[in-house]
Amino acid sequence: MFDASIYKNRRLRLKEKMQNGLVLILGNGEAPANYTDNTYKFRQDSSFLYFFGLNMPGFAGVIDIDSGEEYLFGNDVDMDDIIWMGPQPLVKELAARVGVVHSAPFAQLAVCLKTAIAQGRRIHYLPPYRYRNVLLLEDLLGIHSAFVKEYASLELIQAVVALRSVKEACEIEEITKACNIGYEMHTAAMRNCKPGVKEQYIAGLIEGIAASYGSMVSFPVILSQHGETLHNHDHSQLLQEGRLMLTDAGAEAESNYCSDFTRTIPVGGKFTSRQKEVYNVVLACNNKAIEIAKPGVTYQYVHLEICKVLAQGLKDLELMKGNVEEAVAAGAHALFMPHGLGHMMGLDVHDMEDLGQIYVGYDDETRPINQFGTSSLRMGRRLQEGFVITDEPGCYFIPALIDQWREQGMHKEFLNYDKIETFKDFGGIRIEDDILIIPGGSRFLGDKRTPVTVEEIETFMGA
């Protein structure tokens, strides 16, 4: 947890951005896994963490925009809780830790909100993503659960996105810690990527590293020799010499700030020449993004520029043909990279995705491009100093997609289908780093960059 002044300042800035009414920020409750008392590891709501800092279930925060008063609602523990969980601080002590003066039992939240509603005051809340909070909002506000999401406050969403998008120095420190755990995870994967090892063993090993240094993984580990399946959670295969292993994994620091890295490495430690050629094209895309990402350019522009690097590289390998600019404008490259270059990252690995991607990654100026591949770009808008984003180009050979496009004659003026056919057993490559936008450019996050060039990876794996 940060110092109370950080949370006070964030709430103050939120108040400055809002017109009037009450802001309600719900924390999360425990989530049962297979019976009530056997819960998933607790994960606090990220906006609650951002404004109220407390990483424990059963709380809600209210900010009165008109009076400026702030309230924390939650229940003090009883003797039964003390017997099972040990002594716990009082709610008023927890409130003081994050600079909140007023606290009350959770049941008082309903009274507070009903009084405000009776006075005709607006209650601003964020879109809930857990059913518990959907039902809680139905109870508290009298809005049918089917409409709760729709009535979330756009004014509040936009204010929260504006604040959370620009990371403070203390947040960069926490993200750096998460990145350093990510380094440990990916280098452990490299050390263990040997023929005969089961994918699940490495997936579990690196999940354990995340848990041992921090809080947990920032999303379920993606690790597979079938890297062409973008989010592959099947870890059932034994590693085979000559294949590539794609690992997309990150950690949450104890503070819940995230990292998210991808490395694609050769089982046994040596790339084949064909793997090397494609790998270097993807690496050139990754490097291009870091070279041109800076305050004032849109990430949509950066995405389209790296797509040109991809198309040029694949043209050099005779997998694509024709004019590169025209191929990218037409969307032909998306056969190989059907996803976007990256996303915001912070307290969520896809930061603030619960608030609506369109508000996080886009604005009135930059709108999504409705074309296969580029339409999956989560972050398109103009970059500002303090943004943390991922740089994750990829190149995949997806047999079913290749077959479909070939049958339909898709972009045949730009695609060498006969050669592409011979890559159907290739798999996929993605290379992902986390970057911070700084004055005039961007920089990698993490104290050390995980081995990324062919030479660095082969040297590391051979050591």
Q: How far is the CB of 344 from ligand GLY (least distance, A)?
A: 11
Nearer Cβ to ligand GLY (174/260): 260
Nearer Cβ to Mn ion (187/390): 390
Nearer Cβ to Mn ion (140/360): 360
Q: Tell me, what amino acid is at 42?
A: F
Nearer Cβ to Mn ion (260/351): 260
Closest C-alpha among 315, 303, 271, 314 to residue 456: 271
Nearer Cβ to ligand GLY (64/348): 348
- Distances in Å between the Cα of 111 and the Cα atoms of 59, 108, 141 are 15, 5, 11
Binds 174, which of Mn ion, ligand GLY, none (CB < 5 to 8 A, cut-off by type)? Answer: none
* Footprint of ligand GLY (CB under 6 A): 219, 248, 260, 343
Binds 243, which of ligand GLY, Mn ion, none (CB < 5 to 8 A, cut-off by type)? Answer: none
Secondary structure E strands in 141-258: 216-217, 222-224, 244-249, 251-252
Say which DSSP state 28 is in: -
Q: How far is the CB of 390 from Mn ion (least distance, A)?
A: 4
By the 8 A CB rule, do 372 and 354 touch? no
Binds 219, which of Mn ion, ligand GLY, none (CB < 5 to 8 A, cut-off by type)? Answer: ligand GLY
Query: In the numeric block, which tokens belong to residue 236?
Result: 């059932």
Q: Reduced to 3 states, what is the DSSP secondary structure of residue 457? A: helix
Nearer Cβ to ligand GLY (112/349): 349
Q: Tell me, what amino acid is at 182?
A: G
Q: How far is the CB of 340 from ligand GLY (least distance, A)?
A: 9
Nearer Cβ to Mn ion (26/253): 253
Q: How far is the CB of 402 from ligand GLY (least distance, A)?
A: 23
| CA 81 – CA 95 distance, rounded (Å) | 19
Query: In the numeric block, which tokens belong to residue 146?
Result: 């089917």
Query: In the numeric block, which tokens belong to residue 36?
Result: 């009530």
Secondary structure E strands in 57-106: 60-64, 70-73, 102-104
Closest C-alpha among 236, 57, 188, 233 to residue 132: 57
Q: How many CB atoms sit inside 10 A of residue 64's CB?
A: 18
Nearer Cβ to ligand GLY (174/351): 351
* Footprint of Mn ion (CB under 5 A): 260, 390
Q: How many CB atoms sit inside 10 A of residue 430's CB?
A: 24
Name residues whose C-beta falls within 8 Å of residue 253's C-beta, 6 or more positions apart in sequence: 174, 175, 177, 178, 181, 214, 215
Binds 381, which of ligand GLY, Mn ion, none (CB < 5 to 8 A, cut-off by type)? Answer: none
Q: How far is the CB of 49 from ligand GLY (least distance, A)?
A: 20
Q: How far is the CB of 119 from ligand GLY (least distance, A)?
A: 43
Q: How far is the CB of 412 from ligand GLY (least distance, A)?
A: 31
Q: How far is the CB of 260 from ligand GLY (least distance, A)?
A: 5
